[in-house]
Amino acid sequence: MASNTIKITVNGKPYEMEVSESRTLAEFLRLDLGLTGTKIGCEEAECGICTVLVDGTPVDSCIYPLFKAQGAEVLTIEGLAEGDKLHPVQKAFLDHGAVQCGFCTPGLIMTAKALIDENPDPDEQDIKIALKDTLCRCTGYVSVIHAIKSAASEIRGEGPIPWHRPETMEPLRVVGQPLPRPEEMDKVTGRARYADDYVFPGMLYGRTLRSAYPHARILN
C-alpha cells in the first residue's frame, strides 16, 4: 500500500509521519496519535460524531482524507481545554446536563465551538441548523441547545445563563437533587473510553461475515 509523509499540526503540536495514502483523518487521530476522544459512529459522514476542526472548519473526520489536511491545523476534543480550565462549551455541557452516554458529546462540542466562533450570538434556530447533522440519541437536544446558548453568552462576556432547576420541597433539598455525574468530566474532555478505544499488545481483530443470500436452503 502506497504511503507518503504528512505534515500536520494537531492541538498545537506539529507532526511529521509516514502514513498510508488511504488513511482518513479519524484513523490518523485515533490509531497513529492515540487521540480516541474523536469517536467513530457511522463511518459514512451521516452522524457527525467524529467532528473535528480543520483550520477552524468542522469536518467529518471519518471520511476526510488525511492528506487533504496536509499543512493544516487540526483541533480535537482533547485540545479544547487549556490545562485544567475547561472551554466554556465544555463547562456549559456539564452545567446544563447535556452529557449522558457521552459517545456523541465530542462531536456536539466541536460543532458548537465552530458555530460560536462563526456566530457569537446564535439563536435557537442557528443552533438547530448547526446540529442538524450531529446525532444524539440520549439528550433530546433541549439541554444541548441550552448549553450552547449559555456558552455563547459566556464567551461574549455576558456570563453563563443559569440552569433552571425545578423547585423542590424543603425535605428534598439534598435527597432527590441532581448531582454532577463523576464520569462527565472525562466525556467532555475526550478522556472517556469505550469498547473501540481500547488497544492491547497482540490484539486480534474480528469482523462479522454475513450471508450473501437473503434466503436460501442449506443443502450440505
The pLDDT tens digits for 186-218 are 999 999 999 999 999 999 988 899 888 888 888
Q: Report the amino acid identity of residue 197.
A: D
With respect to residue 213, please indicate whether it lies within any of the assigned structural domains: no
Helices (H), the chain: 25-27, 88-95, 105-118, 124-130, 142-155, 184-189
CATH code of the domain containing 141: 1.10.150.120
Q: Residue 68 has what pLDDT?
A: 96
50-80 per-position pLDDT tens digit: 999 999 999 999 999 999 999 999 999 999 9
With respect to residue 108, please indicate whether it lies within any of the assigned structural domains: yes
Q: How many domains does the chain have?
A: 2
- The reply to whether 95 and 66 lie within a common domain is no
Q: What is the mean pLDDT of residues 153-168?
A: 83
Q: Residue 165 has what pLDDT?
A: 64
User: Contacts from 120-129 at CB under 8 Å and sequence distance 24+?
Assistant: 120/152, 120/155, 120/156, 121/152, 121/156, 122/148, 122/149, 122/152, 124/149
With respect to residue 166, please indicate whether it lies within any of the assigned structural domains: no
Q: Residue 166 has what pLDDT?
A: 61
Q: How far apart are CA 160 and CA 127, in angstroms?
A: 17
- The reply to whether 96 and 75 lie within a common domain is no
Q: Residue 218 has what pLDDT?
A: 83
7-53 per-position pLDDT tens digit: 999 999 999 999 999 999 999 999 999 999 999 999 999 999 999 99
Domain ends where: 143, 159, 175? 159
> Is residue 1 pLDDT above 90, yes or no?
no
Q: Residue 177 has what pLDDT?
A: 66
pTM listed for this prediction: 0.88
- The reply to whether 152 and 128 lie within a common domain is yes
100-153 per-position pLDDT tens digit: 999 999 999 999 999 999 999 999 999 999 999 999 999 999 999 999 999 999
Residue 151: burial class (beta carbons within 10 Å; 0-12, 13-18, 19+): buried
Domain ends where: 159, 183, 205? 159
Q: Name the 3-class secondary structure at 75.
A: strand
Domain that holds residue 126: 81-159
Q: Residue 168 has what pLDDT?
A: 60
